[in-house]
Homo-oligomer: A and B are copies of this chain.
Amino acid sequence: MTTPIRVTVWNEGRHEQTHDAVKAVYPNGMHTVIADYLNGQPGITARTATLDMPEHGLTEEVLANTDVLTWWGHVAHDEVDDAIIERVAQRVWDGMGIIFLHSAHFSKMFKRLMGTSCQLKWREANEKERLWVVDPTHPIAAGLGDYFELPHEEMYGEMFDIPVPDQLVFISWFQGGEVFRSGCCFTRGKGKIFYFRPGHETHPTYYDANVQRVIGNAVRWATPPQNSVVIASPCYQALEPLE
């Protein structure tokens, strides 16, 4: 038996408390929907954490026992403590995977790891999004066909100010005329990062079977590497004789 992948599903969790429209879609918070899906997958065990918990639920102990962290935030990016941001960054560099969902593109955490402004065009018009697979060799596209659709989503459009992704898995088409790099892979240190675009809080996106499948695939892909490569700055003795 291999040990299960330990996921922590992190959510800002504010919209679900303050907006009736969001509460109607996600009465127990979108983190619960995501965690429930993941807990139904073989080889994955998920728990949740939210902004309003002590240390935002991201204690040293929680992170030490997290293989992959998922992150959703929107209105309270600035309330995330800088010390927690640094703690999570360190854990990513040490190998923890991290998956950023939708409006987490503008979180302190994503910006910290990207080094860019992370800006983009946006529009709330309940329009159609169609996500096309452009890398059919990538494990994050497992189980999908040429594309999948979401009938109603917020629009995000290019120019999306991110570093060039190491791998680009999805490109979105929007009804209103824009495109977007919707599934982007990066590495930082020994950690793998996936940005996945869909998930506006007023739409039932995290109940969608394809969206769930992608999140599950991304969790498996982002699981920490098993090697003993050391990331450090040692004064290093020569391996060959130097006269």
Could you mark each residue 148-183 of chain A with 1 if its beta carbon is under 8 Å from any beta carbon of chain B, else 0? 000000010111110110111001111111110100
- Residue A18 is within 8 A (CB to CB) of chain B in the complex: no
**Which residues of A are at the interface with B, using a C-beta cutoff of 8 A?**
89, 93, 106, 112-117, 119-123, 125, 127, 130, 132-139, 141-146, 155, 157-161, 163-164, 166-168, 171-179, 181, 186-192, 225-240, 242
Whether B231 pairs with A136 at a CB distance below 8 angstroms is yes
Whether B121 pairs with A93 at a CB distance below 8 angstroms is no
A241 to chain B, nearest CB (A): 9
Whether A139 pairs with B228 at a CB distance below 8 angstroms is no
Assuming A136-B227, A187-B135, is B164 touching A121 (CB within 8 A)? no
Which residues from B are CB-within-8-Å of A174? 173
Alpha-carbon distance between A190 and B231 when the two chains are bound, in angstroms = 30
Which residues from B are CB-within-8-Å of A135? 164, 187
A66 to chain B, nearest CB (A): 17
> Which partner residue on chain B sits nearest A136 by CB separation?
B229
A75 to chain B, nearest CB (A): 14
Q: Main SS of chain A's interface residues? A: loop
Whether B93 pairs with A187 at a CB distance below 8 angstroms is no
Alpha-carbon distance between A115 and B113 when the two chains are bound, in angstroms = 4
Alpha-carbon distance between A187 and B164 when the two chains are bound, in angstroms = 7
Which residues from B are CB-within-8-Å of A145? 227-230
Which residues from B are CB-within-8-Å of A112? 115
Which residues from B are CB-within-8-Å of A136? 159, 189-190, 225, 227, 229, 231
Whether B127 pairs with A242 at a CB distance below 8 angstroms is yes
Which residues from B are CB-within-8-Å of A89? 115
Assuming A120-B233, A142-B225, A227-B145, is B134 touching A158 (CB within 8 A)? yes
Whether B238 pairs with A127 at a CB distance below 8 angstroms is yes
Assuming A137-B191, A139-B225, A159-B229, is B238 touching A177 (CB within 8 A)? yes
Which residues from B are CB-within-8-Å of A160? 134
Whether A229 pairs with B173 at a CB distance below 8 angstroms is no
